[in-house]
Amino acid sequence: MARHDFQLSAPAQSEAVELAAEEGHDTDIPSNLGIIKGPGADGLDKEFDIEKCELSSRTSQSGPSDEFNAPAEAANPNVIGWNGDDDPENPLNWPSSKRWGTVAIVSSFTFLTPLGSAMFAPGVPQIMEEFGSSSELLAGFVVSVYVLGFAFGPLVVAPLSEMYGRLPLYHACNCLFIVFNVACALSTNLDMLIAFRFFAGSVGSAPLALGGGTIADTISREQRGTAMALWMSGPTVGPIIGPIAGGFLTQAAGWRWVFWVTAIAAGVITVAGIFLMKETYGLAILNHKVARLKKETGNPHLKSSLDSGLSPKDLFLFSIIRPSKMLFTSPIVFLLSLYVAVAYAYLYILFSTFTSIFVTNYGFTTGTAGLSFLGLGIGSIIGQVLTTVWGNRTAQKHIRKGDFEPEHRLPLMYPGAVAMPIGLLWYGWSAEFQTHWIVPILGTGIVGFGLLMLFMAPNTYLVDVFTLHAASAMAACTVMRSVFAAVLPLGGQKMYNALGLGWGNSLLGFIATALIPIPFLFVRYGKRIRTKYPVNL
């Protein structure tokens, strides 16, 4: 394809990267927008095709390439696109009620699936007793295996959505989520329950993998912040409400009703989605339009303006190979992913042990044991609010000064890095000496605060550093943290039995302390490291 001399302006480039990151793919995979109109480097208005961008080399280095291809096919009558800026088929032009209704349904499911990961935790002692198992390994794994599905589900769901659209994936995964939760409720042994929990987590990852893209499809940039906040409230609020509701439900009706209630709620949302949701992915909409026009006109040469020419094989390779390559060849991706993974694993160690600790040490019932998760939840909310406010102000300040670097995102990790070991030591030793129950819960609040501070900043940093391939970098981080969160909690109860709550949590705190230099290292040397170790994709 021919090269052109113009450059992509910073605003247009930023929009391309932001859109792709929200949709969960790299910028050389089709988006719902396709072409950005904006000023070029010479100040004249131009159109930039954000899918058919061609880097000067196949290398993701310290920053993005500014060379893009012109939309050479714009005047080709065989290329089918939107009928102007006000095309009613474009989801951005749908009535407001339809657009926000779609966001509400997706956000509801995004709330339900993380809730399912934690709602089940208070019922673990009941399950182990019913199935006659005393294995502490399985007691931890039956909780954490759900998040293992979060690691592998998006690797399949995301590329399939690029080929067939978002709607079929939503409907299929939502229906399977109901099926697997019903299967969990009907499980007759622990092995069945663990297997179906994994499958429920895998298909339950769909709204987490596709929700950002649906919002980008339907909501303008001016209103997208509100929609993203609504969507992201699920992963934040779900783990707070889940254990509380699950504790009382398990006590009143038994652990199986946790899955029945989840399946019923999922069924209501799924039915609403089937009747009210429409396809929002621009590429899929235009592909249907092309198929219709081919049949009507008999012209076999028609194609979508958003068609990047990528084969299904390429889409799968980009979704699976790229994240793995970035994880193991980039020190930035590996070390930040490691830090996030350890912090995330600590969360699931606490999830899988809270019920037994507070029931045994403090005499909580199965119902009130769910309240022990409140500290983690409230601390996480405080961390998320502080991260959003502080992060936005810091970035805007440096952008106004003209000296913004991706490393300006990472000081947000400093308070989280310090809070994590303090919270673990506070929780561990107060529970060891059986102080009043509020004291260890306050300690877990500090852990939750630290977790969110450590979780949010690296993702934003990876978007800024890897730009065109930001989604692959975030996918690498997601896979590593999900695997750690599924595996490390398996030894949580054994660790506490061997070392006690005080020294067991001190061990976790010492590891967290050893990782503290990572954000300081990247703030100081990050630019040098990403320049020295580019990722060849």
Q: How far apart are CA 248 and CA 246, in angstroms?
A: 6
For 275-356, where are the E strands, in sequence order?
A: 303-304
Percentage of the chain surpassing pLDDT 90?
Answer: 23
- Does residue 51 sit in helix, strand or coil? coil
Position 194 scores a pLDDT of 92
Whether 47 shows a pLDDT value over 90: the answer reads no
**What tokens appear for 380 in the block?**
């996480």
The better pLDDT of the pair 253, 117 is held by 253
Q: Which residues of 6-23 are buried (b: 16+ CB within 10 A; e: fewer)?
A: bbbbeebbbbbbbbbbbb
**What tokens appear for 97 in the block?**
């009620």
Position 384 scores a pLDDT of 80
Interval 337-349 mean pLDDT: 88
Start-to-end CA distance of the chain, whole Å, equals: 20
Position 487 scores a pLDDT of 85
Please list the residues that pair with 37 across neighbouring strands.
47
User: Exposed, middle or buried: residue 522 (CB in 10 Å: 0-12, 13-18, 19+)?
Assistant: buried
Whether 335 shows a pLDDT value over 80: the answer reads yes
Position 74 scores a pLDDT of 45
Whether 211 shows a pLDDT value over 50: the answer reads yes
Q: How far apart are CA 115 and CA 464, in angstroms?
A: 30
Q: How far apart are CA 108 and CA 413, in angstroms?
A: 30
Whether 63 shows a pLDDT value over 70: the answer reads no
Q: Which of 2-16, 126-140, 163-177, 378-392 has the lowest mean pLDDT?
A: 2-16
Q: How far apart are CA 372 and CA 377, in angstroms?
A: 10
Angle of helix 10-23 versus helix 221-253 axis, rounded to 10 = 20
Distance of CA 275 to the CA centre of its chain: 26
Q: How far apart are CA 12 and CA 43, in angstroms?
A: 12
Residue located via tokens 């009130």: 368
- HSE-CB at 454 with a 13 A cutoff on CA atoms is 36
- pLDDT bin (cut points 50, 70, 90) of residue 24 is low
Residue located via tokens 């302390």: 513
Q: How far apart are CA 182 and CA 192, in angstroms?
A: 12
Q: Which residues of 249-288 are buried (b: 16+ CB within 10 A; e: fewer)?
A: bbbeebbbbbbbbbbebbbebbeebeeebebbbbbbbbbe
Whether 44 shows a pLDDT value over 60: the answer reads no
Give, in order, the Cα–Cα distances in Å from 83 to each of 86, 284, 309: 7, 16, 22
Q: How far apart are CA 106 and CA 22, in angstroms?
A: 14
Whether 494 contacts 507, CB under 8 Å: no
Phi, psi of 294, rounded to the nearest 5 degrees: -60, -40
The length of the chain in residues reads 537
- pLDDT bin (cut points 50, 70, 90) of residue 179 is very high
Whether 58 contacts 537, CB under 8 Å: yes
Query: Which residues neighbour 154 within 8 Å (Cβ) at sequence distance 6 or greater?
Result: 24, 205, 208, 209, 475, 478
CA angle 51, 79, 48 (to 5 degrees): 35
**What tokens appear for 371 in the block?**
């309240």
Interval 400-412 mean pLDDT: 82
Whether 232 shows a pLDDT value over 80: the answer reads no
Q: Which amino acid is residue 208, in one-letter code?
A: L
Interval 122-148 mean pLDDT: 85
Phi, psi of 95, rounded to the nearest 5 degrees: -55, 150
The better pLDDT of the pair 168, 141 is held by 168
Whether 18 shows a pLDDT value over 90: the answer reads no
Whether 260 shows a pLDDT value over 90: the answer reads yes
Domains observed in the chain:
10-71 (no CATH), 88-303 (1.20.1250.20), 311-537 (1.20.1250.20)
DSSP H or E run through 464: helix 438-466
Position 23 scores a pLDDT of 62
- pLDDT bin (cut points 50, 70, 90) of residue 21 is low
Position 228 scores a pLDDT of 72
Residue located via tokens 């909409």: 285
**DSSP symbols for 422-461:** HHHHHHHHHHHTT--THHHHHHHHHHHHHHHHHHHHHHHH
Give, in order, the Cα–Cα distances in Å from 150 to each of 156, 238, 297, 397, 482: 11, 15, 44, 36, 6
Position 508 scores a pLDDT of 93
Whether 165 shows a pLDDT value over 80: the answer reads yes
Mean pLDDT, the chain, as a whole number? Answer: 80
- pLDDT bin (cut points 50, 70, 90) of residue 124 is confident
- pLDDT bin (cut points 50, 70, 90) of residue 10 is low
Q: How far apart are CA 449 and CA 390, in angstroms?
A: 14
Position 65 scores a pLDDT of 33
**What tokens appear for 402 in the block?**
């003209």
**What tokens appear for 48 in the block?**
């930039």
